[in-house]
Amino acid sequence: MSILIKSAKIIDANSKFNGKTQDILITNGKIKEIATSIPNSKAKEIINQKNLHVSTGWLDSSVCFGEPGLEERETLVNGAKTASLSGFTDIILNAVTDPYLDTKADVSYIKSKSSEFVINIHPTGCLTKESKSEKLADIYEMYQSGAVGFYDFKNPVNNPNLIKIALQYVQGFDGLVFSFPFEKSICPEGQMHEGEISTNYGLEGIPALSEEIMLKRDLKLLEYAGGKLHIPCISTKESVELIKEAKKNKLDVSCSVSINNLFFNDKKLKNFDTRFKVLPPIRSEDHRKALIKGVNDGIIDFVTSDHSPIDIDNKKTDFVNSLFGSTGLESMFGALNLLFSTEKSIEILTKNKSVFGINENKIDEGEIASLTLFDPDIKYKFSKDHIISKSKNSCFIDTDLKGKSYGIISNNSKLIIGN
């Protein structure tokens, strides 16, 4: 297959073509030629979009679908389409299924089902059996089947010895342990950030403390045991400082933040809109500003959409009974591109892939064509019409955004949509 991208501005700090508007010829999955003008006759397919920009493929480090078992939320096929059209060539898929992905066969199922997609799906397996925090799952066997890490999604591992043993065990094969920082016993019925709004409305809050004490525990375990640790979705200013200190001490730790926690503060919860019920909770403005600084300073390694589709029966209900979670793939770039410059946004979306064992590429002749195509300047109000996911529980509905993806080229194929 040959594809010719016409007049695209290249955004890639690692490429000699960075900032230049070029034609890019792709043949058999590799970039064959980059030049100011390449004849259309050299390719079977031509891509020519308005205000076209191109970068290396984007990564989202925390995505949920549902299949197997929760297909009413999202299927693998439609989820892959959603991620691809949102600009992502690679996603880290959480083990939020029924049953949980905690065996070699489970991970193999995801890999086999997704082998024909344009996008690369990198599954995680549960750290503990059935995410019950009682005994470790079949970690090494899942690693052999393609799991890039081990994570009880949003379920904190209460037993610190399990984290310690896991960190020691994965060192034998350079594995990655995830640990969600949340001491739930402090707020077993917590609904939103502990603050003025939760107090006024009489709902149990989720204090910053519930995140920070678990994070301190896990960093101490990492210091003791060694290994590699990923902390998904931090949400407090103290957590940023804890990660900063851990990195200063040369601990092998990485972390992410959800776009929800970067973009919104807890004032959005005044109307009990369940779309904004997420975990970790959207916190106060001082926490939000500290998280943005953490991203700018490079302390926070990833910004994730934290894409969590929830079916309408479990989301559009009263606040207490509504499940935590928001979709976010479709709105991710438009939100990120409002908070940061386009160049910074692309850096955020393309860096640190090696944390998950994913090859990092650049836009140059001879390189694998793993590319995202986008328009960073288009402004629009995000609506349900922009949601490709089966579930429509997005925080960003009725929010002004800037920038849209046209799609991706990856695995010798393309998935492109017009304006």
Same domain? For 101 and 8 the reply is no
Residue 231: strand pairing partners: 255
pLDDT level of residue 415 (50, 70, 90 thresholds): confident
Name the residue range of residue 290's domain: 58-356
Residue 385 belongs to a domain: no
Catalytic position from the list 102, 152, 266, 306: 306
CATH number at residue 310: 3.20.20.140
Same domain? For 125 and 21 the reply is no
pTM for the model stands at 0.97
Same domain? For 161 and 198 the reply is yes
3-class DSSP assignment, residue 221:
helix
The whole-number pLDDT of residue 244 equals: 98
CATH number at residue 409: 2.30.40.10
Same domain? For 141 and 254 the reply is yes
The whole-number pLDDT of residue 416 equals: 83
User: Residue 180's closest CA among 225, 139, 224, 124?
Assistant: 124
The whole-number pLDDT of residue 419 equals: 55
Looking at residue 289, the DSSP 8-state letter turns out to be H
Same domain? For 86 and 230 the reply is yes
The whole-number pLDDT of residue 26 equals: 97
pLDDT level of residue 412 (50, 70, 90 thresholds): confident
Same domain? For 87 and 131 the reply is yes
Domain count for the chain: 2
pLDDT for 141-173, tens place per residue? Answer: 999 999 999 999 999 999 999 999 999 999 999
User: Residue 77's closest CA among 358, 390, 326?
Assistant: 390
User: Pairing relation of β-strands 2-10 and 45-47?
Assistant: parallel
Question: What's the whole-number mean pLDDT along residues 374-385?
Answer: 98
Burial of 150-181, coded b for 16+ CB within 10 Å and e otherwise, reads bbbbbbbbeeeebbbbbbebbeeeebbbbbbb
User: Pairing relation of β-strands 120-123 and 88-93?
Assistant: parallel
Residue 1: pLDDT over 90: no
Contact indicator for 60, 307 with CB cutoff of 8 Å = yes
Looking at residue 171, the DSSP 8-state letter turns out to be T
Handedness of CA 221, 226, 228, 234 (dihedral sign): positive
Question: What's the whole-number mean pLDDT along residues 60-66?
Answer: 97
Tokens at 87, concatenated: 């600009």
Residue 342 belongs to a domain: yes
Contact indicator for 102, 130 with CB cutoff of 8 Å = yes
Question: What's the whole-number mean pLDDT along residues 303-324?
Answer: 96
In whole angstroms, give the CA distance from residue 167 to residue 218: 10
Same domain? For 320 and 262 the reply is yes
Cα angle 149, 121, 91; round to 5: 75
Residue 394 belongs to a domain: no
pLDDT for 261-300, tens place per residue? Answer: 999 999 999 888 999 999 999 999 999 999 999 999 999 9
Determine whether 12 is an active site residue.
Answer: no
pLDDT for 165-220, tens place per residue? Answer: 999 999 999 999 999 999 999 999 999 999 999 999 899 999 999 999 999 999 99
Interhelix angle 329-339/76-85, rounded to 10 degrees, is 30
Same domain? For 89 and 34 the reply is no
From the number of C-beta atoms within 10 Å of its C-beta (0-12, 13-18, 19+), residue 207 rates as: buried
Neighbouring C-alpha atoms within 13 Å toward the C-beta of 239: 34
In whole angstroms, give the CA distance from residue 78 to residue 136: 31
Residue 395 belongs to a domain: no
Q: Calculate the average pLDDT of the chain.
A: 96
Contact indicator for 363, 31 with CB cutoff of 8 Å = yes
Looking at residue 307, the DSSP 8-state letter turns out to be B
User: Residue 211's closest CA among 310, 279, 260, 160?
Assistant: 279
Tokens at 245, concatenated: 């200190």
Residue 279 belongs to a domain: yes
Same domain? For 17 and 83 the reply is no
Question: What's the whole-number mean pLDDT along residues 60-82?
Answer: 97
The whole-number pLDDT of residue 116 equals: 87
Residue 340 belongs to a domain: yes
Same domain? For 99 and 120 the reply is yes
Residue 188 belongs to a domain: yes
Residue 122: pLDDT over 70: yes
Residue 388 belongs to a domain: no
| Contact residues for 372 (Cβ-Cβ < 8 A; gap 6+) | 54, 55, 56, 57, 58, 87, 88, 89, 349, 405, 407, 408
Residue 409: pLDDT over 70: yes
3-class DSSP assignment, residue 323:
coil
From the number of C-beta atoms within 10 Å of its C-beta (0-12, 13-18, 19+), residue 285 rates as: exposed
Question: What's the whole-number mean pLDDT along residues 82-103?
Answer: 96
Give Cα 98 distance to the centre of its chain.
Answer: 21
Q: What percent of the chain has pLDDT over 90?
A: 96
Same domain? For 136 and 153 the reply is yes
pLDDT level of residue 20 (50, 70, 90 thresholds): very high
Same domain? For 208 and 301 the reply is yes
